[in-house]
Amino acid sequence: MNLLFVYGTLKHGGHNHHFMVGQTFVGGAHTAPGYTLFDLGGYPGLVAEPDDTLGVSGEVWSVDDGCLAGLDVLEGTAEGLYRRGPVPLAPPHDGRRVEAYYYLRSLKDRTRVGETWGT
What are the chain's domains?
2-114 (3.10.490.10)
Query: How much is the pTM?
Result: 0.96
Q: Which residues contact 106 (CB under 8 A, 6 or more apart)?
A: none
Gap between the Cα atoms of 105 and 28, Å rounded: 27
Q: Catalytic residue at 75?
A: yes
Backbone φ and ψ for 8, nearest 5 degrees, come out as -140, -115
pLDDT 10s digits, 15-69: 999 999 999 999 999 999 999 999 999 999 999 999 999 999 999 999 999 999 9
* Complete DSSP assignment for 42-110: SSEEEEE-TT-SS--EEEEEEE-HHHHHHHHHHTTTTTTSEEEEE--B-TTSTTS--EEEEE-S--TTP
Catalytic residue among 75, 79, 99, 115: 75
